[in-house]
Homo-oligomer: A and B are copies of this chain.
Amino acid sequence: MAVTDDAIDKIKEMIVSGELQPGMRLPKEDVLAQQLGLSRSSLREAIRALTAMRILIARQGDGTYVSSLEPHLLLETLSFASDVSEGATARQLLQVRRLLEPQAVALAAGQAEAADLDGLREILDRSRHTTDAEEFIRHDMDFHRRLIDIVDNPVLSMLLEILSTQTQRVRILRGTQVGPAIRQVHREHEMILTALLARDAALAASAAAMHIAAVEQWLDGSV
């Protein structure tokens, strides 16, 4: 391709080189178009692509700015990748999650404070008697999110968020007997929390690994 893609690369380049810093304002469209040597229409396509990727932020009536560029912001656009994945691809995503999440949980075991543990306890209590699949999945996601947030690494949090989107969970649960599956997931969550309360990082990691492995088996069964 050409003009528009050139512009995308050039703007990216200006950011990487430091010429454009996070939060900075870009020249207005017609000026920037002239600088980069293309029409305003084509430049707009470039800008739109970059705003869709959360690299730029355009505000009507105001101007276009470089975003904060925090990775968890940029990672967000990937939830789509997870949403459309199925079959072998879904398995690949889940494998990565199985490699990563137990380690994160182990870290969390060492860093968890009382408030964190109370929060997890609360989520599990709420989910204990949930029978509705949709609602249980929400609790499930809450639990994992809260668990990972203990590590206090936004990149890690967003990555694991992507590796297990709601869409994916719904799809997997749909292929199983909902009742037993819910009870098993709940038991496994309890195991993880127990290990956290005991400050046993190795056990917590193992529990998390088992938990995800079980999901992987369901996925294999349902596909």
Contact = CB atoms under 8 A, between A and B. Distances in A.
A81 B74 contact: yes
A103 interface: yes
B93 A82 contact: no
Contacts of A89: 70-71, 155
B93 A104 contact: no
A154 interface: yes
Contacts of A31: none
A81 B71 contact: yes
A85 interface: yes
A109 to B, nearest CB: 13
A92 B156 contact: yes
Contacts of A155: 89, 92-93, 95-96
Question: What is the count of identical protomers in the complex?
Answer: 2
Interface in A69-115: 69-71, 74-75, 77-78, 80-85, 89, 92-93, 95-96, 99-100, 102-104, 107
Contact of A49 (B48, B104, B153, B159): B48
Interface string A25-64: 0000000000000000100111011111101000000000
Given A53-B77, A74-B78, A96 B153 contact: yes
A71 B48 contact: no
Interface in A147-179: 153-156, 159, 167
Contacts of A50: 52
A185 interface: no
6 contacts: A16-B83, A52-B52, A52-B53, A71-B89, A99-B104, A99-B156
Contacts of A100: 96, 99-100, 103
A127 interface: no
Contacts of A215: none
Contacts of A80: 12, 16, 53, 55, 74
Given A4-B48, A69-B81, 4 more contacts: A16-B83, A45-B48, A102-B103, A103-B103
With most chain B CB atoms within 10 A of its CB, the pick from A80, A159, A167 is A80
A153 B95 contact: yes
